Amino acid sequence: MAVSAAGLGRRHGRRWVLAEVGFELPEGALAMLSGRNGSGKSTLLRVLATAIRADVGTAHVLGYDLRLDREEVRRNTALLGHRAHLYERLTALENLALAARLLDGDGRRAALLDRLEEVGLVDRADDAVQTFSTGMRQRLALARVLQQEARVVFLDEPYGHLDPQGFLLVDAVLRRLRARRCTVLMATHLLERARMLCDRGLILDEGRLVFAGATAEMPEGAVTGGAWFAEGA
Amino acid sequence: MTALVAMLRKDLLLQWRGRAQIVAIFAFGAATLLLFSFAIGPDSVALRQHAAGFLWLGLLLASTLSLADSFEGEMEEQALEGLLLLPASARAIYYGKAIANCAQLTLMGAALVSLIVVLYDAGTLRLLSLLGVIVLGATGLSAPGTLYAAMTAQSRARQTLLPLLLFPLVVPVLLAAVKATSLLILGDPMGQLGSWASLLGVFAVVHWALGGMFFERVVED
C-alpha cells in the first residue's frame, strides 16, 4: 500500500479535528478527498505529509511509519498546502534553485526555466515572489512539488486561486503524475472535475471518514455537492 | 555540508534583499548610543568608562529586532515548513541562519564602534583584537538568539517575548564582552583580555552546540 492509516486522530485544543480515520490507498492511486469546510481535509493531508503529528493512531506511507521514519516519509512525499512554502523576497528561480540544491536535483538555470515553463511562469522567473498574485504563487508551489519527484503527492485544493488555464494545468499535472505511477491524494471542492480524474474517493465529515472507495461508488449527493454532508449547499 | 551552504546562501540573500530593514535596525542601535551619551552628559572620562557597556547594550537591543526579523521571511508563506518537508536538515537550517545572524551582528557591532569613537571618544589601536571580541560576542548572542527567535516566531507577542527569553540567557556573554571591550578601550595592565575572550569563546561553543541540538524540537510540530 502507498498510504495506510488506522485510527488517526488530531486534536486542536479540546476539539478532535480528525477522529478514528482509517483507509488504504494502493500505489498509483489517484484519490480525491472531499468534505465540508472544517471537516479535517487539510489536517489529514498535513498529518500524512508529516507537517504536523497525529495525536493518536498510526499511518504508513510506502511502508514507512509517520512517527518513526519521518525523514524517509518526507523524502518520498510532496505537499501542496494552503501556504505556498516560498520565500517572498526571493525570485521564482531562486526559490526553485534552493529546493534543487537541497534535493540534489538539476539546479541549472535552463532546467529551472523549463520547470517554470511547465507552470506558465517563465516570463516572471526573475521577479520576487512578493510581486506575485495568489494564483501565481500556487503555480510556483506546484512547480516545486513537481521538482520533488515524489512517489506520493498530497495536494490541498490545487485548483484554488487558479484561472481556467490553471485548472487545465492541474488536470495535466494529475495525468502526468498518474502516468508516473505516483500516488496522489487531493483535497478539493471541485467534485465533478475530481471524479472524472480520480479513481478513488474519500469523504470526511466532522473529522470522521464516512466514505472510502471507488469514485463510481461515491454517494451521488456527495458528488453533486447538494449532499448529506453539506446540507443547504 | 551542501545543505548548510545552501541555507547560508539563502539567509544572506534574504538579508541583502531586506537591507532597508537592517539599516533601520542599525539606526535604532545608533539612536540608543546617542541617548546613552546624553544620559552621561559631557564628562569625557565617564563617557569613555561606560563606552563598552553602552556599545554592547546598543548591540543587544538592536539584535532583538534583527533576530526577530530573520524569521519573518520563514513564516510568511510557511517557507520554513517547506524546507523541513523537502526534507532539509533542521541543523543545517539552524546553523545557516545562526551564521548569517552572527555576520549581521558583527557588521552592526563594527559600525557601532565607529559611533563609540565619535560620541564617547573611546577608541583603541588594537582594532583586530576589538574585531575579535565583537565576533566572539556576536557569536554568543546569535546562537541562542536564533533559537529563541524560532521559538517565538509564531507568537503574536514575539517582539516582547524574544527579549524576555533571550536577555537572562545572554547575561554572561554580555558581561564577558563588556569586560573584554572595556579592557581594550581603557587599557589592560593585568593582561586579563585573554581570559575574558576565552570565556566568551566557551559560552559561544556551548550555545552553538545546544542550539543545534534543540532547534529541531523547536521547529517541528
CA B78 to the chain's CA centroid? 25
Distance from CA of A97 to the nearest CA of B (A): 9
Contacts with A, B 105-134, CB within 8 Å: none
Question: Is B79–A85 a contact, with Cβ atoms under 8 angstroms apart?
Answer: yes
Residue A65 backbone phi and psi in degrees, to 5: -75, 135
Angle (CA) B154 A142 A173, round 5°: 150
| Closest chain B CA to residue A145 | B86
When pLDDT is cut at 50, 70 and 90, the band that residue A52 belongs to is very high
Residues of B in Cβ contact (< 8 Å) with A84: 77-78, 82
Radius of gyration of the CA atoms of chain A, in A:
17
* pTM attached to this predicted model: 0.89
What local confidence, expressed as pLDDT, does residue B119 receive?
87
Test mutation, A77, A96, A102, chain B, max B CBs within 10 A: A102
Closest CB to A87 among B3, B14, B221: B14
Strand order in the sheet with A30-34: A77-80, A152-156, A183-187, A30-34, A200-205, A208-214
> Which residue, B132, B151, B156, is CA-closest to B204?
B132
When pLDDT is cut at 50, 70 and 90, the band that residue A204 belongs to is very high
List, for residues B26-66, the tens digit of each pLDDT value.
999 999 999 999 988 888 889 898 999 999 999 999 999 99
Whether residue B69 contacts residue B19, with contact meaning beta carbons closer than 8 Å, is answered with no
Query: How many angstroms separate the CA atoms of A213 and A227, rounded?
Result: 17
Question: Is A50–B82 a contact, with Cβ atoms under 8 angstroms apart?
Answer: no
Judged against a pLDDT cut of 90, whether residue B204 lies above it is answered with yes
Judged against a pLDDT cut of 50, whether residue B187 lies above it is answered with yes
- Chain A residues bordering chain B (beta-carbon distance below 8 Å): 49-53, 70-71, 74-75, 77-79, 81, 83-90, 94, 98-99, 101-104, 128-129, 137, 144, 148
Would you state the cell numbers that stand for residue A184, as one nine-digit string?
496522489
Judged against a pLDDT cut of 80, whether residue B221 lies above it is answered with no
Distance from CA of B113 to the nearest CA of A (A): 30
Size of interface A-B (CB pairs under 8 A): 74
When pLDDT is cut at 50, 70 and 90, the band that residue A227 belongs to is very low
Would you state the cell numbers that stand for residue B31, as one nine-digit string?
539612536
Whether residue B204 contacts residue B213, with contact meaning beta carbons closer than 8 Å, is answered with no
Query: How many angstroms separate the CA atoms of B83 and B103, rounded?
Result: 22
Question: Is B77–A90 a contact, with Cβ atoms under 8 angstroms apart?
Answer: no
What local confidence, expressed as pLDDT, does residue A233 receive?
33
Test mutation, B8, B71, B85, B154, chain A, max A CBs within 10 A: B85
**For the residues A59-75, what does the mean pLDDT come to?**
95
Query: How many angstroms separate the CA atoms of A40 and A187, rounded?
Result: 10
Query: How many angstroms separate the CA atoms of A125 and A107, rounded?
Result: 14
Test mutation, A46, A72, A87, A153, chain B, max B CBs within 10 A: A87
List, for residues A79-130, the tens digit of each pLDDT value.
999 999 999 999 999 999 999 999 988 889 999 999 999 999 999 999 999 9
What local confidence, expressed as pLDDT, does residue B121 receive?
84
Mean pLDDT of chain A: 91
Question: Is B85–A50 a contact, with Cβ atoms under 8 angstroms apart?
Answer: yes
Query: How many angstroms separate the CA atoms of A48 and A65, rounded?
Result: 10
Radius of gyration of the CA atoms of chain B, in A:
18
Question: Is B221–A51 a contact, with Cβ atoms under 8 angstroms apart?
Answer: yes
Would you state the cell numbers that stand for residue B131, as one nine-digit string?
574585531
pLDDT above 90 covers a percentage of chain B that reads 72
**For the residues B108-129, what does the mean pLDDT come to?**
88
**For the residues A196-200, what does the mean pLDDT come to?**
92
Judged against a pLDDT cut of 80, whether residue B181 lies above it is answered with yes
Question: Is B10–A74 a contact, with Cβ atoms under 8 angstroms apart?
Answer: no
Residues of A in Cβ contact (< 8 Å) with B21: none
Which residue do the cell numbers 536564533 mark?
B146
| Closest chain B CA to residue A85 | B79
Closest CB to A101 among B6, B87, B221: B6
Closest CB to A85 among B6, B13, B81: B81
